[in-house]
Amino acid sequence: MSDIYDKVIELAKRRGFVWPSAEVYGAVAGFIDYGPLGAMMKRRIEAIWRHYYVIREGYYEIECPTVGTESIYVASGHVKGFADKMCQCPHCNEYFRADHLAEACGIHNAGILSKEDLAKAVAPARCPACDEVFGSVEVFDFNLMFQTTIGPGSQRRGYLRPETAQGMFTDFSRLSRFYRMKLPFGAVQIGKSYRNEISPRQGMIRLREFTQAEAEIFVHPEEKRHPNFSRYADYTVDLWGIEQQQKDLPAITKTMREAVDEGIIANEYIAYYLALTHELLVTIGIDPARMRFRQHLPDERAHYAIDCWDAEVLSDRFGWVETVGIADRTDYDLRAHSKESGDSMTVFVPFAEARKEKRLRIVADMGTLGPKYRGKAKKIADALAEAAPGPDGADVVVDGETYHIPGDLYTVSEEEVEVRGVEVRPHVIEPSYGIDRMIYGVLEHAYGEEMVEGEERRVLHFAPCVAPVQVAVFPLVNKDGLDATAREIALDLQDGGILADYDDNGAIGRRYRRQDEIGTPFAVTIDYETKEKGTVTLRDRDSMEQVRLPIADVHATLMSLVSGHTRFADLKQA
């Protein structure tokens, strides 16, 4: 028996939302094409995301290459540690993620198990491909990055980026100057990321090429009170925190103020972006009754993160699907890139008033330092002036090499200096959105079936702001000038920025059903009363109710309906 997933994907393929990529060549799992309606819907969701993060939050968008040199991913830890645990069926030779197989056997949170424990857990399981019992298998690490080389015949290794975040970290110094060296500030990026998934079998949920929308918000480590927290202080969301998971309790509903004050959420920044994410997902059409925020358990949370939450969306087939991740990553990323690149990755934060401080300053004895270090002596002396003396000398780094300078080669003097501020390496708050998973969630939550006049009506109840086609325009019949008037109205709507679909093919009822199935929220019908009174029929997709409007009011009314400023019910009452 097919479930809602099969129905949604069948409709999506047939009506031009999503197709298997390169289907004529058999397609490859983990890649999809967005058809005409899917691509438009995707752009609308991305535009809504930009409205929240660029327009409202004020974080400018940047765009970085999808190919990065190896040093980026050495610093970020992806070269060494970005791997899934994999095993191979000894019978059919198919590869699988070992933790997924273990979880299918009822083992909770299998991703934290060792390779040895996973091998034991997988042994009694049956292969999803050939149905044979696995038996003894080896579990090994498989790095998920796509590797390439940069330049012809070059040995310079590169990778397709596994996330959009790293470009915002490597651009940190320029971003900080762009924002006039004032914390907090942020940058966002929407673009393609790539992960060579072992066995993607979940359609749009697990892809090898996917779209991410990420924000990196750089904040003072000691100032994590969001300046606009009052906007969401009383906003409530369902939180499945550590305590609820460990005690197998349901999610609890809390305001963001309560969650921070009670220590459930680490700080105001995390709470703020949980609430913003909830509002954004509801805006695009995710059912709030089928959404929750799950806190990462201590043994699954990255060692450097203070707190991390996933916005999970409930799917009939896949259960709770991680769709957005929101984390306080501390200064881990900037510290890692600073170490690898030599850039300080800091921001100078001035004090309200300059301070007088006593400091020890090393003064090199060039008479003895010069003969000993020759050409390096000047650089070593300059480095010593910035170094701190130790009990048996001072260590300095010159041209990438560390030198230990004995105490008899310099003197130490105490100076009173005026200090105007301090160099601060910011902490990073990261909301990371999976656009493709958001789109699938919207498709599934919007899908509906009902019987109307003895006939099945399938409808996508899209929010008007994400519907690919915003209004359909129909002439009742193709004669007596009704078609010409309908075309004029469609052109007027299109010129005004509304995507209007002119359709004169078939009976009017069939045309309504076609538009219902692709989620078009409104339809305008031109009939004989249009010729007599200059009015048209405006139909609402969800209620199937109709109102009559003067032609002159059609554009403004639809603009207000699509933007959400007016509800169709308001028109009925007018």
**pLDDT per residue as tens digits for the range 389-415:** 888 899 988 887 889 999 889 888 888
What is the Cα–Cα distance from 79 to 81, expressed in whole angstroms? 6
Provide the residue count of the chain.
574
- Report, as an integer, the average pLDDT of 372-384: 89
Place 574 in a pLDDT band, splitting at 50, 70 and 90.
Answer: low
pTM of the model: 0.87
Q: By the 8 A CB rule, do 293 and 280 touch?
A: no
Place 234 in a pLDDT band, splitting at 50, 70 and 90.
Answer: very high
Which has the closest alpha carbon to 466: 445, 487, 439? Answer: 439
Peptide bond into 184 cis (omega under 30): yes
Place 1 in a pLDDT band, splitting at 50, 70 and 90.
Answer: very low
Which has the closest alpha carbon to 442: 10, 15, 17, 21? Answer: 17
**Residue matched to tokens 């000038």:** 481
**pLDDT per residue as tens digits for the range 247-278:** 999 999 999 999 999 999 999 999 999 999 99
**pLDDT per residue as tens digits for the range 12-31:** 999 999 999 999 999 989 99
Which has the closest alpha carbon to 364: 336, 342, 383, 340? Answer: 383
Token pair for residue 553?
A: 């009011």
**pLDDT per residue as tens digits for the range 488-506:** 999 999 999 999 999 999 9
